[in-house]
Amino acid sequence: MAEPRKSPLPASAPTGSPAGAPVAAPVGTPAGAVQPLVGDNDIGLPYSGEIGTQLREFVVLSRAFERQVGQALAVNPTDLSAMEHLISAGSLTPSELSRRLDISTAATTLVVDRLVALGHARREAHASDRRKVVVLPAAKSVAMAVGALMPVIGGVATVTRDLPPEERAVIARFLSRVLEVYHGALDGGAAGAEGNGDGTDTTAPRFRPPAS
């Protein structure tokens, strides 16, 4: 029988270590100290240690939580992204929403139709240009979305408050650099690319609470 293919993503230990085994600490390393980033895997991906493992888990959990919020609101991922943009902006024209979702105007019309049918949004005439229509989020749906997000919003706020200022500064710098890596990869991969126009949001940010 052929040996199962190994995952290209390194686990918490270098390739060749027993499953679940921690990275061995150098002699004299204090207990609990952060281990050096060693142990590239067998296909050449750099090993980023426990931090890399936790970042990947964070991405997976974020997606799962986003699905949970979508289920609570009975919307699909694209409609949830549309709600995020509407909540953040307060109101958007269909063309503005189309650009933010990076989908066609026809697909955006279907998204808005679904949100209106569910009571999550409504259409109104533009305040200064009666030829235009704006889409606004329903107040009750904003409250539902924020309520669904509160376990994470409140929990992260509590964890952040519990950290001393110097640790918060270190974490903020690290996360800023990680964000720069992601932005750089997206900018490079998206050069010349266009939205697929089929109603799938490929560029919208993860769901965020409305700005305070």
Entry pTM: 0.62
Highest mean pLDDT range out of 3-17, 71-85, 188-202?
A: 71-85
Please state which of the ranges 96-110, 153-167, 182-196 shows the lowest mean pLDDT.
Answer: 182-196
Question: Quick one: tokens of 174?
Answer: 């690290």
| CB atoms closer than 10 angstroms to residue 141 | 19
Higher pLDDT, 17 or 93: 93
Select the highest-mean-pLDDT range: 42-46, 125-129, 154-158. 154-158
Percent of the chain with pLDDT over 90: 58
Residue 202 pLDDT level (bands cut at 50, 70, 90): very low
Q: What pLDDT digit, counting tens, does each position of 5-36 carry?
A: 444 444 444 444 444 444 445 455 555 555 54
Residue 43's pLDDT is what? 66
Helices (H) and strands (E) in the chain, counts: 6, 2
Which burial class, exposed, middle or buried, applies to 65 when counting CB atoms under 10 A from its CB (0-12, 13-18, 19+)? middle
Query: For residue range 102-146, what is the model confidence (pLDDT) as tens digits?
Result: 999 999 999 999 999 999 999 999 888 878 899 999 999 999 999
Task: Give me 193's structure tokens.
Answer: 């690319």
Residue 78 CB burial class (10 angstroms; 0-12, 13-18, ≥19): buried
Domains of the chain: 49-187 (1.10.10.10)
Mean pLDDT of the chain: 79
DSSP code for 92:
B
Q: Residue 167 pLDDT > 60, yes or no?
A: yes
